[in-house]
Structure 1
Amino acid sequence: MNQVLNIEVDLGVGLAMPAMPADERLTRISFYTETYSLYVHRDHPLSGRESVSCDDLRGLAFVMYPQGFYGRDLIDRWSKERGLVIETIMETGSATSLLQLVGAGIGATIQPSRLIESFQSLGIRAVAIDDSPIREMVIMYRNDKYISVAAKAFINKLETSFQTSR
């Protein structure tokens, strides 16, 4: 966002940061939203469920990203709003490591719902969370600067690509 505001780049693509105040100089276009799921070992008692509620997550042992990572901060805000305490037994900054820990039966994790497509062989299952955390991807640009034909084509291509991949 700062590079767009400082006119170092024409466009920015990234995660919407709800904790940051909106800057009126920026136009933001949401092009993709994604829910989060609970990831558990295939033998976990919750693995056969189609979905779980926030209450179902109480008392579970979690492996998570460290605090300060966007995904962890999003989950912490979401859980705090619901009176849920995420009991973290281990932290790592690697999605691969988190899912390997889940596959080894060490704990559960909460990650973007589509992440499972990359880790089918680990013996884990993604279970939808009712009223789950949501992350939003946005394109941003300065609304007081000229947007080239190429930038407009890129925005259009990005929106179209993500609409067809849902």
Structure 2
Amino acid sequence: MVRGRISVAFQHTFGEATLPLLISAFRSRHPGAVFTLSQGSRNACLEELAAGEADLALTAPVGADGTHLQSAPLYREPLRLVVHHSHPLAGRQSAALPDIRTEPFVALEPGYGMRSLTDALFREAGYRPRIAFESQDSHTVRGLVSAGLGVSILPPGGDAPGRTVSPETGNLGWAEVPLDSPLAFREVGLSWRRRKTGAEPVPVRLFRDMVVGEGPQLLAGLVRQRTG
């Protein structure tokens, strides 16, 4: 059992289940470990890591290996088209990016992981979307779509509010449609700074080793639930 502080920077979407599951597994073995958490965009998380303000960063896409950075993938999940529940594409078996060429698009702001992924998808499709709103939070993006203010592309929402339409919420509601594109996925992973042998604090090394070695199995049930 070890004691000590572990600082993790992570994107907002991993705060509901992914990171809590990993911390819970580690704390069951090392209850004396203390975590300092920082949320932000993908770019902000990796900047904190590079500056030494965080020990680890949980992001999607995974940070690229380099001279000062090392990373490991944990899992991959599909990206889906999110539309208002009454949209003509709702209920389709799949959709392609040309299907939404004229639609107003609700995007994450530049610097966020999902923005880089959607930008790549639209480059592959050969056009720029007509961006109606930009947000810093995927819940807000989903809410704007739920109100019929545009379409978006997001990871699976699981049981996020709005998936089940009810009289109490009026006409609010969203539906997910699988995207027909080889780029329609995001890979989630952990990044850390390269350090001299023995320079990494023991609690940080143990948590990193657990996440990299056991994380895919620990998170497998969550991934199945979200993507099922």
Counterpart position of 2:17? none
TM-score by length of 1: 0.79
Change (3 A) 1:150 1:73: closer
Q: Which moved more, 1:53-62 or 1:92-101?
A: 92-101
Counterpart position of 1:82? 125
Q: Note the residue ranges of structure 2 that are not aligned, 5 or more in a row.
A: 1-45, 165-171, 224-228
Identical residues among aligned pairs (%): 25
8 A Cα contact 2:79 2:153, kept in partner: yes
1:128 to 157, 168, 178: 178
Deviation, 1:117, is 2.5
Change (3 A) 1:103 1:13: closer
Counterpart check, 1:150 vs 2:192? no
Alpha-carbon distance in structure 2 between the residues aligned to 1:140 and 1:93: 22
8 A Cα contact 1:11 1:140, kept in partner: yes
1:48-127 map, 5 Å: 48-112=91-155, 114-119=156-161, 120-121=163-164, 122-127=172-177
Change (3 A) 1:145 1:84: farther
Deviation string 1:101-151 (CA, Å, 9 cap, x unpaired) is 212212111111x22431223521000101143221122343753575733
Alpha-carbon distance in structure 1 between the residues aligned to 2:125 and 2:139: 28
Alpha-carbon distance in structure 2 between the residues aligned to 1:7 and 1:92: 27
Q: Which moved more, 1:49-58 or 1:91-100?
A: 91-100
Residue type matched to 1:53 in 2?
A: A
Counterpart position of 2:59? 14
Secondary structure at the counterpart of residue 159 of structure 1: helix
Q: Note the residue ranges of structure 1 that are not aligned, 5 or more in a row.
A: none
Alpha-carbon distance in structure 1 between the residues aligned to 2:99 and 2:52: 46
1:162 to 219, 224, 228: 219
Change (3 A) 1:49 1:14: same
Q: CA RMSD in A?
A: 2.7
8 A Cα contact 1:33 1:137, kept in partner: yes
Residue type matched to 1:128 in 2?
A: P
Deviation, 1:95, is 2.2
Change (3 A) 1:57 1:144: farther
Deviation, 1:5, is 5.4
Secondary structure at the counterpart of residue 73 of structure 1: helix
